[in-house]
């Protein structure tokens, strides 16, 4: 089966990356090649054809990757998240923008060389939205893709710009060159994820992290002080749905896609409701609220929910994990089992 095409996964060692590798391996269509700053844990290596430890800012390394592998799909997951990005905004820009530019350039060069469109799957985020006040947030409710795009974090600014870059590479790259009409272009597909919750890993450096942190702390009988107030509300999604969304968008016929980047929703709840669900599952859980003003402000600037009608219409997106199923059938049992081992 060595003639199977290659899917490149950057940021493979992150939360989404690890779940995606398992899903791509089970799917079997692709040979998996990964790139991450840190080496992939032993458990995931047998699922991959090659695993590279390296920096997405290393253009020489990306050239090598493109020379050695006929990459048909890129899942560009590597990023610095929103809290980490506020601690080092220039580094966030380098990784989230320059790194993405390098990957886009690589995918575009490959598309031209192989004369077929390399698919470029890009996880964007609800962080692209920035709603000035809580009153406006409430009034807006479920936000649609063109609304409220004034992000207040470097990460959100970077993701929004990267969506534009992807659209540019796909539709307008080098519009003045004589032979662009005849050159295959990359096929950019973006998804704006809500806060993601995995039963396998605890996220690092994000601002939606209070959700998963609360759950993982409770399962280990550790007290947890939540860094946003009880009223704070954003949409969340269980990791299996996030991976299903990436695969669904990958498989969508190009002609059905009308947006460069799509909202995908699953459920939305306040931090207080999150805490109640965690306490119901883990009755001993000690959860307190100790808001950090700056991080709480970021969460307040994100929409309380997303309108994902476009994804539902264009590529049949439908989440499998609503709020009850996410907690009762995925998060709680898997996290409990994880810490009982
Ligand atoms: N979950 C991410 C973060 O909190 C947003 O995409 O930074």
CATH code: domain of residue 256: 3.40.50.720
Instruction: Report if residue 306 sits inside a domain.
Output: yes
**Is 40 within the bounds of a domain?**
no
Contact by Cβ (8 Å): 93, 165: no
In a domain, 141, yes or no: yes
**Can you tell me which atom of ligand 1 is nearest the CA of 196?**
1
Is 5 within the bounds of a domain? no
Q: How far apart are CA 203 and CA 209, in angstroms?
A: 6
Cα of 217 vs centre of ligand 1, distance in Å, is 19
Query: Rounded to the nearest whole angstrom, what is the distance from the C-alpha of residue 188 to the centroid of ligand 1?
Result: 21
Please indicate whether residue 82, judged by its CB atom, sits closer than 6 Å to ligand 1. Answer: yes
- Domain span at residue 160 reads 79-340
Q: How far away, in angstroms, is 156 Cα from ligand 1 center?
A: 9
Asked, for residue 172, whether it belongs to a domain, the answer is yes
- pLDDT recorded at residue 184: 87
Measured from the Cα of 85, ligand 1's closest atom is 7
Per-run averaged pLDDT (10 residues), the chain, 341 residues: 88 97 98 97 97 97 95 98 97 98 97 95 98 97 98 98 97 79 88 97 94 96 98 98 98 98 98 98 97 98 98 98 98 94 72
For residue 243, how far is its CA from the centre of ligand 1 (angstroms)?
A: 16
* Angstrom distance (rounded) from CA 135 to CA 330: 34
pTM: 0.97
Q: How many domains does the chain have?
A: 1
- 278: Cβ below 6 Å to ligand 1? no
Q: CA-to-CA distance for 265 and 257, rounded, in angstroms?
A: 17
Query: With the C-alpha atoms ordered 22, 27, 32, 34, is the resulting torsion angle positive or negative?
Result: negative
With respect to residue 164, please indicate whether it lies within any of the assigned structural domains. Answer: yes
Q: What is the pLDDT of residue 183?
A: 81
Angle, helix 99-114 to helix 59-68, in steps of 10 degrees: 30
Residue 2, domain member (yes or no): no
In short, whether 21's Cβ falls inside 6 Å of ligand 1 is no
Q: How far apart, in whole angstroms, are the C-alpha atoms of residue 159 and residue 85?
A: 12
Residues 136-179 have pLDDT tens digits of 999 999 999 999 999 999 999 999 999 999 999 999 998 777 66
> Is residue 92 domain-resident?
yes
């Amino acid at each position: 089966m060595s003639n199977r095409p290659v899917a490149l996964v950057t940021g493979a060692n992150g939360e989404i990356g690890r779940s995606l590798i398992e899903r791509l391996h089970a799917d079997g269509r692709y040979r998996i090649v990964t790139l991450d700053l840190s080496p992939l844990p032993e458990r995931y290596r047998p699922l991959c054809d090659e695993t590279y430890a390296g920096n997405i800012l290393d253009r020489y390394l990306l050239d090598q990757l493109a020379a050695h592998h006929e990459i048909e799909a890129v899942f560009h997951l590597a990023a610095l998240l929103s809290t980490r990005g506020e601690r080092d905004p220039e580094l966030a820009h380098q990784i989230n923008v320059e790194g993405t530019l390098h990957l886009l350039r690589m995918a575009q060069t490959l598309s031209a060389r192989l004369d077929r469109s390399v698919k470029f799957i890009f996880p964007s985020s609800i962080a692209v939205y920035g709603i000035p006040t809580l009153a406006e947030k409430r009034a807006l409710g479920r936000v649609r893709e063109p609304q409220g795009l004034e992000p207040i974090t470097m990460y959100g600014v970077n993701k929004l710009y990267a969506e534009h870059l992807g659209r540019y590479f796909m539709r307008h790259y080098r519009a003045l060159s004589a032979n662009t009409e005849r050159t295959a272009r990359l096929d950019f597909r973006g998804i704006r994820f809500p806060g993601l919750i995995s039963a396998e890993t605890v996220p690092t450096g994000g601002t939606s992290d209070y959700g998963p942190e609360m759950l993982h702390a409770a399962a280990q009988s550790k007290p947890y002080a939540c860094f946003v107030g009880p009223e704070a509300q954003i949409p969340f999604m269980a990791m299996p749905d996030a991976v299903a969304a990436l695969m669904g968008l990958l498989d969508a016929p190009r002609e059905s896609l009308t947006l460069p980047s799509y909202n995908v929703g699953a459920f939305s709840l306040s931090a207080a409701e999150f805490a109640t669900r965690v306490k119901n599952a883990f009755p001993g859980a000690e959860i307190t609220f100790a808001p950090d003003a700056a991080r709480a402000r970021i969460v307040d600037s994100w929409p309380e929910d997303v309108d994902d009608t476009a994804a539902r219409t264009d590529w049949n997106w439908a989440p499998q994990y609503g709020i009850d199923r996410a907690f009762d059938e995925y998060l709680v049992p898997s996290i409990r089992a994880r810490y009982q081992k």
